[in-house]
Amino acid sequence: MSRQMHAFENKEALSRATCLAFIALARQTIEERGLFRVALSGGSTPQQLYEMLAETSLPWDRIHWFWGDERCVPHDHADSNYRMVREALLDPIGAADDTVFPVPVDVDDPAATAQRYEATLREQFAGQDAPQWDLALQGMGDDAHTASLFPETQAINETDRWFVENWVPKFDAHRFTLTAPAINSARNIWFLVSGVNKRKALDSVWNGPSQPAQVPSQLICPDHEGLVWWITHDVLT
Ligand SMILES: O=C(O)[C@H](O)[C@@H](O)[C@H](O)[C@H](O)COP(=O)(O)O
């Protein structure tokens, strides 16, 4: 597995660079295959990227938006990744409903929610062994989780399903997440990581012993060239 790392002075520079790279990749992909399918990360780091993308001009009708993970909350909840992306990007660009594929959260039935989204993904990526995203955007927590693959949780062991519910003891709540195989199948996987609080986690992912149960971001190791880490200098030891 080859992996690249680009380091930037601050989050604005990181967001601007990833925005330019996103535009280039999307244009090239749409030219070659007519459609660009991206699995979005939640959390706070990518929000500025989404806001910058909203100020650009792309063939939005040829971009399909999916979520790599979601919280077990209604779409209008402050913690919803869907709400964050809608406000930062999808509403400003006027994304058409048929290009947006949110996780259909039913807070009373997490299992059914995950099954329904899995069915959506298998429909959208029909005939594939795993969803071949053109781009999967990943964040990383200070515990080295990515998406909602948290240390010592059930979802990190899932290898057949593409999308699952995951009980996360630290939040005493369910989350929803792509499984590692359903992320590794992406043509391009970009981690966006910023903040001194991520330093230890990044070091454990890059330089530590292989222990994915405790360092879930180590599960993201595609067998191709497309893994790129976009980080700020403060994350480097
Ligand atoms: O739903 C989420 O929260 C994310 O998908 C999660 O995996 C996030 O990327 C990390 O927790 C980093 O979050 P920050 O970018 O807020 O540090």
* Pick from 215, 75, 89: nearest CA to 151: 215
Please choose from 146, 149, 219 the residue to mutate so as to test ligand 1's pocket, defined by most ligand atoms within 8 A of CB. Answer: 146
In ligand 1, the atom with minimum distance to the C-alpha of 71 is 1
Q: What confidence score (pLDDT) does residue 1 get?
A: 59
In ligand 1, the atom with minimum distance to the C-alpha of 146 is 7
In ligand 1, the atom with minimum distance to the C-alpha of 70 is 1
Domain at 13, CATH number: 3.40.50.1360
Question: 167 by DSSP, 3-state: which?
Answer: strand
Pocket of ligand 1 (CB under 6 A): 41-45, 69, 81, 139-141, 145-148
Answer whether 63's CB lies under 8 Å from 26's CB: yes
Is this complex scored with an ipTM above 0.90?
yes
Q: What confidence score (pLDDT) does residue 119 get?
A: 98
Q: Are strands 63-67 and 36-40 parallel, antiparallel or unpaired?
A: parallel
**Side chain identity at 149, as an amino acid letter?**
L
- Cα 141 to averaged position of ligand 1 atoms, centre (Å): 6
pLDDT tens over the chain, length 237 residues? 577 999 999 999 999 999 999 999 999 999 999 999 999 999 999 999 999 999 999 999 999 999 999 999 999 999 999 999 999 999 999 999 999 999 999 999 999 999 999 999 999 999 999 999 999 999 999 999 999 999 999 999 999 999 999 999 999 999 999 999 999 999 999 999 999 999 999 999 999 999 999 999 999 998 888 999 999 999 997
**Domain with 157 in it:** 3-235
Residue with tokens 């806001």: 51
Residue with tokens 């402050």: 78
Mean pLDDT estimate for the chain: 97
Domains identified in the chain, total number? 1
- Cα 10 to averaged position of ligand 1 atoms, centre (Å): 18
Q: What confidence score (pLDDT) does residue 146 get?
A: 98
